[in-house]
Amino acid sequence: MKRYPRNLRGYGPNPPHANWPNGAKVAVQFVLNYEEGGENCVLHGDAASEAFLSDIPGAAQWPDQRHWNMESMYEYGARAGFWRLHRLFTGANIPITIYGVATALARSPEQVAAMKSAGWEIASHGLKWIEHKDMAPEMERAAIAEAIRLHTEVTGERPRGWYTGRCSENTVRLVAEDGGFDYISDTYDDDLPYWLKMDGRDQLIIPYTLEANDMRFSVSPGWSSGEDFFDYLKNAFDVLYAEGEAGSPKMMSIGLHCRLIGRPGKLAALKKFIDYIQGHANVWCPRRIEIAKHWAETHPPQHFDRPSEMDRETFVANYGSIFEHSPWIAERAHDLELGPAHDCAAGVHNALCRMFRTATEEERLGVLTAHPDLAGKLAAAGRLTAESTSEQAGAGLDLLTDEERETFTKLNADYVAKHGFPFIIAVRDHTKASIMAAFHERIGNNRATEFAEACRQVERIAEFRLMDILP
């Protein structure tokens, strides 16, 4: 089976209603990354100094050396930036989530005490603020376990949320493997939480952000002033708030760093944004753990048989009748590169149609001739497929007058004599009267035109049938 693991569909065109508490139009969630003292540093046993997310333009690692300036910028975050942010958020009565690097927390006991006294959630940000991409799975699994152990020792509670940031392709799987996390945030792929099936377990994912994030003060392209940051946050909030007012509430994550937004000239923009959102009604500012609890209670995981995970026999049993009496289409579709994007009506429809469209003309003709006449003898004898019976009945073709039945019988015979296949129309798009009108109009077309139109109608019928059984 050729299967594509990435999920490019998500919730599709109709995301669930978040149902945030008290009818909130948007959930604005602030994350403060606490990394100071956990970054790359030879004092920590690392091979080189840190080079990421600081106010040093174009910083590079210094192998086997301490980078005094880099270290002091990180130290500013712990010594001054953290306390400025602590005063801002406690003064605004907004609880936040800390992404805490375990070794950084261990080196900052006063800050940890202040986080706890403020009622902030302290989620895990890994053992050290270093890259995981080159770690072997066994090494990363051990680092995750040690991060949990040290975090619990330092804070008094095990973390319920996780965000690595500098993760590997294995990180989410390895963290979910632990089984003790209410959520993982190592994704940036949605405006709402969602459930991910990992090794048979339902893991809640609460996506994070790298764009509504003060890290862009330290990268290019990025923010050149606090006003840039404020304008971006305001614009994002305004769009999401409007969507919430329109009946589709979302989540807005905002990422912060003590050593970046904690500088006075940058913090003014954050304060301005907080004042702005507090001037709006129905804005919820939770910790991430509260979002996780709400989503688990309000939107528990939903299970259904996913087409992309079916073996060939099951796939054909489920979808072999979508194209009338033509299971070979489903057999071929199963060999395509299916993935999560195909676990819906539109996905399976696309896969089946690809096989129908690339079939020979003779094979497609076989599909057309497998369709019954409208209101014909098979219908009268009760020998239609269940799908065809339902479709024709829905258009009232099971309740024809004698005159209407005679007209359909003559039109069917004339159409087949001229074109070599039955008149096919997606009856769910029509009424009895419009079907009759289309019959009279199309019977005069040449065969090539009508062959193409019949194929389009077959695909439309398949679409309706799949919408009856799949999301």
Phi then psi dihedrals of residue 48, to 5 deg:
-155, 175
Q: Which tokens hold the place of 233?
A: 């946050």
Catalytic residue among 303, 371, 419, 430: 371
C-alpha distances out from residue 311 to 44, 199, 306, 469, Å: 50, 18, 10, 18
- CA-based nearest residue to 157, from 170, 148, 146, 169: 148
Spatial distance between the Cα atoms of 96 and 257, rounded to a whole number of angstroms: 13
Contact of 34 with 111, CB cutoff 8 Å: yes
- Return the ∠ at Cα 19 (arms to 16 and 24), rounded to 5°: 125
- The per-residue DSSP string of 70-99 comes to HHHHHHHIIIIIHHHHHHHHHHTT---EEE
- CA-based nearest residue to 183, from 304, 97, 119: 97
Phi then psi dihedrals of residue 39, to 5 deg:
-80, 170
Q: Is 371 assigned a catalytic role?
A: yes
Spatial distance between the Cα atoms of 341 and 12, rounded to a whole number of angstroms: 9
Q: Which tokens hold the place of 326?
A: 């033509």
Report residue 248 CA to chain centroid gap. Answer: 15
- Return the ∠ at Cα 322 (arms to 319 and 323), rounded to 5°: 125
Name the residues annotated as catalytic: 371
